[in-house]
Structure 1
């Protein structure tokens, strides 16, 4: 393992949790309300364009974005198998 130092926000473009409640990432936020009876709540996703622009200017953007996407791929694989 290498000892590369990363910014504190490294890997936080998206929220860490995708479940009922409000969750904030550096760029994207997510709110999922509890289901009301038989109706499933529609997730509300917000984006912070100035933060996205800030991320895009960061020299670690490509690596950070890939880490975020890898985490999402892993979460998707786990959720479809359990």
Structure 2
């Protein structure tokens, strides 16, 4: 599939690795896991609302969203 958007299919971050103490982001969604020592102290999911609004206006939104979700699901399946 030919697309002009270099962000196509990248709404979510790579979920195959869990980074500690640093934000991990995709084009719209992200997370942060705080682990200053042995135990995780906080987990945050993030949404860049401005990017989401821009994505929803994109003519390739539907296919991009489907590819983003499919990729995230496959990454989770492979990881488990």
Aligned residues: 77
The Cα shift of 1:28 comes to 1.5
Q: Given the alignment of the two structures, is residue 50 of structure 1 paired with residue 72 of structure 2, yes or no? A: no
Secondary structure at the aligned position of 2:42 is classed as coil
Answer yes or no: is 1:6 the counterpart of 2:4.
yes
- Residues 1:73 and 2:73 are matched in the alignment: yes
Higher relative contact order (CA 8 A, sep 6+): 2
Larger Rg: 1
Report the equivalent of 2:18: 19
Q: TM-score, normalised by structure 2?
A: 0.78
- What secondary structure, in the 3-state scheme, does the structure 2 residue paired with 1:43 have? strand
**Alignment gaps of 5+ in structure 1:** none
Give the ranges of 4+ consecutive aligned residues of structure 1 lying more than 2 Å apart after TM superposition.
33-37, 39-43
